[in-house]
Amino acid sequence: MPPQDPKEYDVIIIGGGVAGLFSALKIADFARVCLLTKNGLQSSNTWLAQGGIAAALGEDDSPEQHAEDTLQAGAELCRQEAVDVLTNEGPARIQELLAMGVSFDRRAGKLDLGQEGAHGKRRIVHAGGDSTGRLLSETLMGHTLTRDTITVRENTYAVGLFIQENQVFGVKLLNGEHIFCRALILATGGCSAVYARTTNNLVLTGDGIAMAYRAGAEIIDMEFVQFHPTVFHDESNVEPFLVSEAVRGEGAVLRDKFGRCFMGNYCESAELGPRDIVSRAIAKQMELTGSPCVYLDITRRGKAFIQERFPTIYQMALKHGYDLARQWLPVSPAAHYTMGGIRVGLSGETRIKGLYACGEAACSGVHGANRLASNSLLEGLVFAVRTARHIQGSLSGLRRLTGQEQPERSGKHKNGPCGPTHEPCAALKEKLGKLMLHQAGITRNASNLEEAKKFIQQKAPPEPWIPRERAGWELKNLFLVARFIVEGALERTESRGSHYREDYPYLDPSWSRSIYF
């Protein structure tokens, strides 16, 4: 960091997706902010988002109906108050984005509202057809980079939090630098990169969740990992890309290798069923037909419509040799979204004073056991505003601490080379990813989960180990979140939402509660 830059700010935000950027803009009105991103600002899941943002904006829609759909998808594990906040405050956040210059698509002068699985109404606003995340990010980044009270530091990897008297007062960076603050927001995204096949940017290795846990925050609901049903399937698996649920919302159907439409056999809503049901149906049909994939068919909509509505997906498919106007696209599920995370209240607050979490890194209970499509960007927007308001009201009461700097809560620490188990970090990460995909993925059972637990116990880097390199920290964090997922899945002896146990295939009302770490 240049020597003229300060080492102390009012608020530090870690993460450059929608939650981090929007909260930074709100806080910049009353405080000095330092926004840290692990890679560049474009390396967020927000940038990759295609489908859009759900909000009750239609004349035939209401926040109550949006809430009902959200609760239904969440399989009786949503927190009602959080859902009400999300759906009631969502429309106002969309109006803010419009005022900031986000060019949502319109038809006949009105917002062009799309429909996705498990939504009872057309309520998805989108931009650039299927480029919502990129255009949203570009707008928020543009505003952020012009604010004098926001310092943005890209390619800056945070590895630990400083806590004293149950209050956060700073962050330790990989390069050994310390930056201090009175409040800190973790907006670091989820941890689906713990799976070998994922839609996520691979930099999302659960860092914020791991840092929060080591600092003393509670982690909940980690067994609930949503798999996106339709991700481009290539035998090389070099470049899987997500094919938005909105494609099925616009009439695409799923076919098996024999050309048969099969979703009606699994779900009354067929292609528009909740993501967990569609993902399991695809996995089952692949098993029954002995095929590594199924096929998404939107040929009936014609080239002009597809190119206008889904320009990014159309070009990506074409890049891989598939013309969506004439050919079916091979797809299969991939790990997509972390429903669990850092336990927070309705304003992003944790049980550590001054420490907040927002976006996918947080768990307010809004998604329950299965996130409703296009509620994720909305969650980032709505709870970023609430977090900023809470910080504004409490900042004056947070003391500036400069006491003993201890970024983790466990044991003695020794520096060591990457790979404390004498295996290269990259090799261990690959083994962990494959194991999680097959043993703790779409379908689970006790035998597979126990095997995964044993591997994690034997191979996980010890918590007191402090890596010198980024790859070591990422490996350490991935093993920690993998442990949470596997242990939670073992403990939850039922099937609910995205968590499906072959040996416990039914929902158990006694399990309408969270598992804490």
Q: Which of 84, 253, 197 is nearest to 435 (CA)?
A: 197
> How far is the CA of 275 from the CAs of 149, 248, 256, 391, 459, in angstroms?
41, 12, 18, 35, 32
CB atoms within 10 A of CB 454: 11
The Cα–Cα gap between 326 and 336 comes to 28
Specify whether the CB–CB gap between 178 and 171 falls below 8 A: yes
Q: Give me 470's structure tokens.
A: 């980024």
**d(Cα 349, Cα 336) in Å, to the nearest integer?**
25
Q: φ and ψ at 306, to 5 degrees? A: -60, -45
Tell me how crowded residue 117 is: count the other CB atoms within 10 A of its CB: 24
Catalytic residue among 93, 182, 275, 280: 275
For residue 75, give every residue at least 6 positions away whose Cβ sits within 8 Å of its Cβ, in sequence order, or none. 368, 369, 370, 496, 497, 507
Query: What is the rounded distance in angstroms from the CA atom of residue 316 to the CA atom of residue 293?
Result: 18
Size of the chain in residues: 517
Euclidean distance between CA atoms 404 and 162, whole angstroms: 8
Supply the Cα-derived Rg of the chain in whole angstroms: 22
Q: Residue 54 has which token pair?
A: 């759900």
Amino acid identity of residue 288, one-letter, is: L
CA atoms within 13 A on the CB side of 172: 18
Q: Which residue in 23, 4, 2 sits closest to 12, CA to CA? A: 23
468 in catalytic set = no
Instruction: Look at the block and give the residue holding tokens 């768990």.
Output: 363
User: Element (H or E) spanning 36, and its range?
Assistant: strand 33-36
CA angle 457, 368, 22 (to 5 degrees): 95
DSSP state of 444: B
Cα distance between residue 90 and residue 322, in whole Å = 37
From CA 389, how far away is CA 397, in angstroms rounded? 14
Looking at this protein, which amino acid is placed at residue 492? R
What residues are labeled active site?
Answer: 275
